[in-house]
Amino acid sequence: MDLFDSLKSKIQGKDLKIVFPEALDERILGAAVRLYHDELLTPILLGDKEQVLEVARENGFDLTGIDIVNPHTYEEYDDMVNAFIERRKGKATEEQAREQLLEVNYFGTMLVYMDKADGLVSGAVHSTSETVRPALQIIKTRPGITRTSGAFIMLRGRGQEKYVFSDCAINPDPDAKILAEIAVESARTAKMFDIDPKVALLSFSTKGSADSPVVDKVREATSIAQEMAPEFDIDGELQFDAAFVPAVSKQKAPDSNVAGQATVFVFPELQSGNIGYKIAQRLGNFEAVGPILQGLNKPVSDLSRGSVEEDVYKTAIITANQSIQD
C-alpha cells in the first residue's frame, strides 16, 4: 500500500477536525475541499465568511458543508479569552488576550487546545515563527520534552524507500539533552509512518574514530536517548556510511544494533540536517515530506510558503495521523 493510502486509511471514519487559519489562500481552500470530499477529515476554515466564499468562487471551489469560523464573531470568544489568560499564567492581560486571539494562528491554536479541533495546519502565508510560537505558548511540549523539532520523511519509489531525517527545521545548535529528545521523538514519528525505527545519531566520527567537543555532544546525546527510550534501537556516534551501508558498518561498528540498517537519521545540528535532506531531495530524487513538528502535546504543522495544494493536502493527512498517536 502507498504510504499516503496507509495514512488515509488510519484516519477515515474518525471524524477528525483540522483547523486552517489561512482560508483566504486558494491552496488552502483547494486542499480543504479535497479532504472534505475524500471524507478524510473535517476542515475548519478561519476568516470572514463572505471573503472566504468570494475567494472560493473566484477559484471554482464549492465550500458547501465546510465550517467557516470568524474570530471576530465567535460565540465562545469570552471562554477562549479566559482559557488563554489561564494558560499564559499572568503573561497576558484580558485586553492583550482579546487582541491577540483575533490573530488567526493564535485563535486556531486555541481551538486545538480547547479540543474544538484535533490539529492545525498553517504556514502557507505565515512564517515559521508565526505558526510555531502560538503552539509553544499554548499547546506546549509533551512531558519530558523541552523543545519541538522538525523531521522530514524522505520517500523514494512510491514509498518503497522511506527514512526519517531530523532535526532539519527548528533547532540551530541543540545541546546533548535536546539532541537526545530529538532522537526519541524521531523514533516515534517513524512508527507513525510504519518505519521500524533504527535511530542513528550522526557525526563525522564513528565509535571514537575522532575526538572533538562536537563528537562528545553526540556521544552524550546517544547515552541520554538510550536511557530515555530503551524500547527503541538507538546508537551513535555514527558516520552516515557506517549507519547506512552494511559492509561499512561491519568494519566501523560491528557491535552496533543500528549501524548498517538505520532508518532514522538524527543530525548533530540544523546546518547539517537542512543540507542533508536537500542533498537527498535534489541529488537522490527523494521526496521530502515535512517538516513534521515533533514533541508538542497536540499537532501543529508548519507549511512552506512555497507549498502547493498537494503539500497542504498531505500535511493535513499527516497532522490528523499525529492526533491519533499515543
First to last CA, the chain: 23
Q: Please tell me whether residues 306 and 243 are part of one structural domain.
A: no
Nearest-angstrom CA–CA distance, 141 and 143: 7
pLDDT-derived band at 2 (thresholds 50, 70, 90) equals confident
pLDDT higher than 90, residue 16: yes
CA nearest neighbour of 165 among 300, 267, 307, 299: 267
Is 184 a member of any domain?
A: yes
Is 317 a member of any domain?
A: yes
Length of the chain, in residues: 326
- Output the domain CATH number for residue 279: 3.40.50.10750
Write 73-80 long-range contacts (CB < 8 A, 24+): 74/107, 77/101, 79/114, 80/107, 80/110, 80/114
Give the pLDDT of residue 196.
96
> The domain containing residue 216 runs over which residues?
149-284
Give 72-87 pLDDT, tens digit per residue. 999 999 999 999 999 9
Give 38-60 pLDDT, tens digit per residue. 999 999 999 999 999 999 999 99
Tally of domains in the chain = 2
Give the pLDDT of residue 153.
93
Q: Please tell me whether residues 8 and 85 are part of one structural domain.
A: yes
Give the pLDDT of residue 90.
81
Residue 99 to residues 96, 106, 112, 313, Cα–Cα distance (Å): 5, 10, 19, 31
Average pLDDT of the residues in 211-219? 95
Q: Please tell me whether residues 18 and 133 are part of one structural domain.
A: yes
Give the pLDDT of residue 322.
94
Please state the three-class secondary structure of 13-48 as a single string.
CCCCEEEECCCCCHHHHHHHHHHHHCCCCEEEEECC
Q: Please tell me whether residues 211 and 130 are part of one structural domain.
A: no
pLDDT higher than 60, residue 186: yes
Average pLDDT of the residues in 141-160? 89
Give 86-145 pLDDT, tens digit per residue. 999 888 889 999 999 999 999 999 999 999 999 999 999 998 889 999 999 999 999 889
Q: Please tell me whether residues 122 and 176 are part of one structural domain.
A: no
Residue 122 to residues 153, 207, 258, 297, 315, Cα–Cα distance (Å): 19, 41, 35, 17, 10
- Is 150 in contact with 174 (CB distance < 8 Å)? no
Q: Please tell me whether residues 246 and 172 are part of one structural domain.
A: yes
Give the pLDDT of residue 162.
94
> Any idea which residue has 460565540 for its cell?
75
